[in-house]
């Protein structure tokens, strides 16, 4: 028997919540097919991308190795991975592969694991790609929608937030950025005044999505800490941000560690207008538009 599962692209940070917030963008997906084998975990085929086929280096198979060890499984898994999400794009491809793999394996095992346990296994896969343990892509890839991922001494709490009725445009320039490199350039400290101003933005965001207050969201949808440190890595960033604001966007920022970027807009017309202008002026970029779901 072979099981297929899929997981969506995700956009981490969402401007105001570095390493905390993320949302699913199911226009793009990774897919995984899994069957049982007598041996170990093997990655028999990768479609759509050049990635390591060594199971100990691929984000889809690392969670399965951990699962086999911890659950004491007497069999292995044979895995086929189809990458629909561009590599090193900031669109959560490594998390999606890991999530699709744990969902498929859990179905093959007749669903013994809770979502919280699946999250923990998928995070082990994501960690080898990003050089740090942050669940802001894995959480929305597994739970869907808009999520908040909170780490404490008891592990992670994943909280699903109301998804605002807005439209999202995602832009992917022809460039790759390794998350681990985009993390290395970040200053380890934040001045106190900036910490306060950014905390206000996260607080305003959380209130706004619970109350559908898009005017409040618009005033505070801004990354004062990470975006200024990373935006110079993306040549098109400042022109695209100005274009988004001119098209009436609520906000525009880097998707995860970049180089992809995203914008939230209030109407479908604004989203399509922005998409069309990006297509005309930046023909080298891929652009997708979709309602948030």
Other beta carbons less than 10 A from residue 1's beta carbon: 7
- Which of 112-120, 128-136, 166-174, 215-223 is the region at the interface with ligand HSE (rule: CB under 6 A)? 128-136
> What sign results for the dihedral spanned by CA atoms 15, 17, 19, 22?
negative
- Which of 76-84, 156-164, 175-183, 270-278 is the region at the interface with ligand HSE (rule: CB under 6 A)? 175-183
Q: How far is the CB of 39 from ligand HSE (least distance, A)?
A: 33
Would you say 183 or 218 has its CB closer to ligand HSE? 183
Q: How far apart are CA 209 and CA 268, in angstroms?
A: 19
Touching ligand HSE, residues 218-257 (CB under 6 A): 256-257
Q: How far apart are CA 248 and CA 273, in angstroms?
A: 10
Q: What tokens appear for 93 in the block?
A: 């491809």
Would you say 105 or 226 has its CB closer to ligand HSE? 226
| Beta carbons of 14 and 51 less than 8 angstroms apart | no
Is 13 among the residues that bind ligand HSE (CB under 6 A)?
Answer: yes
- Which of 50-58, 131-139, 158-166, 197-205 is the region at the interface with ligand HSE (rule: CB under 6 A)? 131-139
> For ligand HSE, which residue of 82, 119, 120, 136 counts as binding (CB under 6 A)?
136
| Beta carbons of 289 and 186 less than 8 angstroms apart | no
Is 19 among the residues that bind ligand HSE (CB under 6 A)?
Answer: yes
> For ligand HSE, which residue of 68, 115, 183, 197 counts as binding (CB under 6 A)?
183
Picking from 50, 71, 51, the residue whose alpha carbon sits closest to that of residue 61 is 51
Q: What tokens appear for 142 in the block?
A: 């597994």
Give the total of residues touching ligand HSE (CB under 6 A). Answer: 13
SS3 of residue 227 by DSSP: helix
Q: How far apart are CA 5 and CA 179, in angstroms?
A: 25
Would you say 105 or 234 has its CB closer to ligand HSE? 234
Residues that bind ligand HSE (CB under 6 A): 12-13, 18-19, 130, 134, 136-137, 179, 182-183, 256-257
């Amino acid at each position: 028997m072979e099981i297929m599962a899929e997981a969506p692209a995700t956009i981490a940070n969402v401007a105001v919540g570095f390493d905390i917030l993320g949302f699913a963008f199911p226009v793009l997906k990774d897919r995984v097919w899994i069957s049982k084998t007598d041996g170990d975990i093997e990655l028999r085929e990768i479609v759509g991308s050049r990635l390591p086929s060594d199971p100990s280096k691929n984000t889809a198979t690392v969670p399965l190795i951990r699962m086999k060890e911890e659950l004491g499984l007497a069999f292995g898994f044979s895995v086929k991975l189809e990458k629909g999400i561009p590599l090193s794009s900031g669109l959560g491809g490594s998390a999606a592969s890991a999530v699709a793999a744990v969902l498929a394996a859990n179905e093959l095992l007749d669903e013994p694991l809770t979502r919280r346990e699946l999250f923990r296994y998928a995070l082990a896969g994501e960690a080898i790609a990003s050089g740090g343990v942050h669940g802001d892509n894995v959480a929305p890839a597994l739970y869907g929608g808009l999520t908040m991922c909170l780490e404490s001494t008891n592990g992670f709490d994943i909280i699903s937030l109301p998804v605002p009725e807005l439209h999202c445009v995602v832009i992917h320039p022809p460039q790759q950025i390794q998350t681990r490199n985009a993390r290395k350039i970040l200053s380890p400290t934040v001045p106190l005044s900036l910490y306060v101003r950014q905390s206000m933005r996260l607080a305003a965001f959380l209130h706004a999505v619970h109350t559908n207050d898009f005017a409040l969201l618009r005033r505070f949808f801004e990354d004062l800490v990470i975006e200024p440190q990373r935006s110079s890595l993306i040549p098109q960033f400042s022109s695209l941000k100005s274009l988004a604001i001119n098209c009436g966007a609520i906000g525009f920022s880097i998707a995860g560690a970049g180089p992809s970027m995203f914008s939230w807009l209030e109407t479908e017309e604004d989203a399509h207008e922005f998409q069309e202008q990006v297509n005309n002026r930046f023909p080298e970029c891929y652009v997708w538009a979709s309602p948030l779901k």
